[in-house]
Amino acid sequence: MFKRLSAEFLGTFVLVFGGCGSAVLAAGFPDLGIGFAGVSLAFGLTVLAMIYAVGNVSGGHFNPAVTLGLAIANRFEWSDLVPYWVAQVIGGFAAAGVLYLVASGQPGWTPGGFASNGFGPNSPGGFNLLSALVIEVVLTAIFIIVILGATQRGAPAGFAAIAIGLTLTLIHLVSIPVTNTSVNPARSTAVVLFAQNGALGQLWLFWVAPLVGAALGAVIWDQALEND
């Protein structure tokens, strides 16, 4: 179990450091900013890379919603759910702390939103709570369906990480303007204590919506799509 939890810690660390780091350090950098598209690709690439790196150790979840979805779909032991969640959240916090140390080394830098998720005034596009709730539920459900399909018995071997990484990229391309994209409670929790925009008060949505979406995706897969 220690190795599995270490893999989840490391994978979530890289996801948060790479994905949120691209948003904090590179998205709006003068003249060379990577923008929304670059941040979307960064999140997808980190997941793809870490699934190949440590997925054979822990399953490559790096996300409490993914762990829940796999448990509901009978692909993961319920008894291991909370330990995985703890490892994921701690890994995310560690990455956010390192990212803060790096980012704060720039003269005049302030955390601002620090890649946090939000709705209303904390939404990049000013979208309201209902918009944020709907898009986070729907996109997390889609993410879980892709994960379950790409990893089912009979799926093309060795390509699951690519499908999952590209799907996460697509999810970010769609939803960064709405919520700054969560679909991952550990990612949302990791940065919230460093943000200076009141994101902590909205964090509940970025646990509730991804977990509901994960459950929905797992049920849809189990009842309507699974190849028995």
pLDDT in tens, 9-24: 999 999 999 999 999 9
Q: pLDDT (tens digit, 9 = 90+) per residue, 68-101?
A: 999 999 999 999 999 999 999 999 999 999 999 9
DSSP H stretches of helix in the chain: 2-21, 35-58, 64-72, 81-103, 129-150, 160-179, 185-192, 205-220
Domains recognised in the chain with CATH numbers: 2-225 (1.20.1080.10)
* CA-to-CA dists, residue 12 to 7, 16, 40, 134, angstroms: 8, 6, 16, 25
For the cut 80, the answer to whether the pLDDT of residue 224 exceeds it is no
Render pLDDT for 170-213 as a digit per residue (tens, 0 to 9): 999 999 999 999 999 999 999 999 999 999 999 999 999 999 99
84 Cβ neighbours under 8 A, 6+ residues apart: 4, 5, 8, 58, 61, 64, 67
Question: Predicted confidence band at 127 (pLDDT cuts at 50, 70, 90)?
Answer: very high
Is residue 226 over pLDDT 70? no
Average pLDDT over residues 42-70: 96
Average pLDDT over residues 125-141: 97
pTM of this prediction?
Answer: 0.93
- Return the pLDDT at 27: 77
Closest by CA position to 115, among listed 21, 37, 36, 33? 21
Q: Express each pLDDT in 138-177 by its tens digit.
A: 999 999 999 999 998 877 778 899 999 999 999 999 999 9
Model pLDDT, residue 154: 76
